[in-house]
A = this chain, B = another copy of it.
């Protein structure tokens, strides 16, 4: 199985039409950037592992990472994408 990074930039509700938990592979990663950070609680309740959030985006929104959410800096963000097989910007 290849590894896909699923990128979200808006609250989860924005994707209710076309997105479903069943699309996420066992080794896939979830990346929260921009306004998706506001909804980290719901993302964390839906995807209980491999959940990453951009530090710069979350700080600008006054958000500290919830349980299960790994904060990453910009360099680790690049590493995350380069180390995976592909990304989908939902």
By a beta-carbon cutoff of 8 Å, the part of chain A in contact with chain B is: 13-14, 16-17
Contact = CB atoms under 8 A, between A and B. Distances in A.
A13 B17 CA distance: 7
Contacts of A13: 16-17
Copies in the complex: 2
Closest 4 CB pairs of A and B: A13-B17, A16-B16, A13-B16, A14-B17
A13 B13 CA distance: 11
A22 B17 CA distance: 22
Contacts of A14: 17
Nearest to A17: B13
4 contacts: A13-B16, A13-B17, A14-B17, A16-B16
Nearest to A13: B17
Contacts of A17: 13-14
A19 B17 CA distance: 16
